[in-house]
Amino acid sequence: MKGRLIGAAAAVACVGVLAYGLSVWQDSKNRRQDELCHVAQEHLKGVEIQARAMAAGLSVEGYAEAEKAEVGKLIHALDTANTKEEVEAVISEHSATVEAKVAATDAEVRSRGEQPFLGQQLKEQRITTDVKQEIQRAEKAVSTACE
């Protein structure tokens, strides 16, 4: 009788240890997957920033400074707004400014066309092929790591 009791206790202990080990392994696998996902997302952000800087004709540092200045102006305008209507007006004005910049860039590209004999190319061509491929690889890495 004692032998059966000891055998049953040992079997229960083995099952408990196995279940604990499995849960620890699963938890470490989930943490590793989350970390891989985070790293892939950060890499994608970096490559996208590089592409936007290239499209703007700036260095990455210059683009970051310009973006920081633009955001600083918007934050200052929002901080000085006192009422909900003023906040809405600031947001509308900023939205209109961004849309105007996009429209101006599109109009410039359409009016200029591609004239390689003058050394001019469409603005979208400033992003090099290797950066475009790197963006595609980074997007694939994010989709794979963050499933």
**Spans of all domains in the chain:** 2-145
Residues of the chain with pLDDT under 70: 109-110, 112-126
Q: What is the pLDDT of residue 34?
A: 86
Give per-residue pLDDT as tens, 120-132.
554 555 678 888 8
Cβ contact 134:47 at 8 Å: yes
Q: What is the pLDDT of residue 113?
A: 57
Q: What is the pLDDT of residue 114?
A: 56
The number of angstroms, rounded, from the C-alpha of 71 to the middle of its chain's C-alpha atoms is 18
Q: What is the pLDDT of residue 4?
A: 83
Q: Which residues contact 127 (CB under 8 A, 6 or more apart)?
A: 51, 54, 55
142 burial class (0-12, 13-18, 19+ CB within 10 angstroms)? buried
Q: What is the pLDDT of residue 101?
A: 81
Q: What is the pLDDT of residue 78?
A: 83
